[in-house]
Amino acid sequence: MAVVEQLICAESDGTVSFGNHKLTAKAKKEDFEHEGDLYKVKTYQIMTKLEKNGMFVYESVPGTSVNHFEETENGVSFVVEGAEDAQITVGLEDETEYDVFVADHNVGKMKTNLGGKLNLSVELEGEGEVKVRIEK
């Protein structure tokens, strides 16, 4: 898997890919249109953040490269890569319980907070790409 050179792009399967964890300076792209929605991405080694229509969707510390990010009514799924382990926050439904899968292993149930944010840690250092799936 490679970093997303243009910071955000639409994939042929209808998903989006975004982020570049190798950038040493902050970069951003605004007003990226995909399936009627407007996306904004900010990314570099320290942090990657995605917003859709002005609302929080994804953030990682340190920065990550995310491929095939897909939101459905039941949750989200994506493939993530980074230089080191990352703390990832995703925006979902408020106070809802989700099953979380990392690298096809069920890591348990997690509940979003009042703002709909779910936090998880993903071991990335030396792993290459890691699949993440979060579903109701």
Reported as a single tens digit per residue, the pLDDT across 1-42 is 566 778 999 999 999 999 999 999 999 999 999 999 999 999
34: its two tokens:
């995909």
Average pLDDT on 76-95 reads 96
For residue 126, give the amino acid letter.
G
- Which CATH number describes the domain made up of 8-135? 2.60.220
In 16-116, the DSSP E strands lie at 16-18, 27-34, 37-43, 48-52, 55-61, 65-72, 75-81, 86-91, 97-102, 105-111
**Given phi > 0 = left and psi -120 to 50 = alpha, else beta, which region is 92?**
beta
Question: What's the pLDDT at 128?
Answer: 83
Q: What confidence category does residue 131 fall into, taking pLDDT thresholds of 50, 70 and 90?
A: very high
pTM score, whole prediction: 0.94
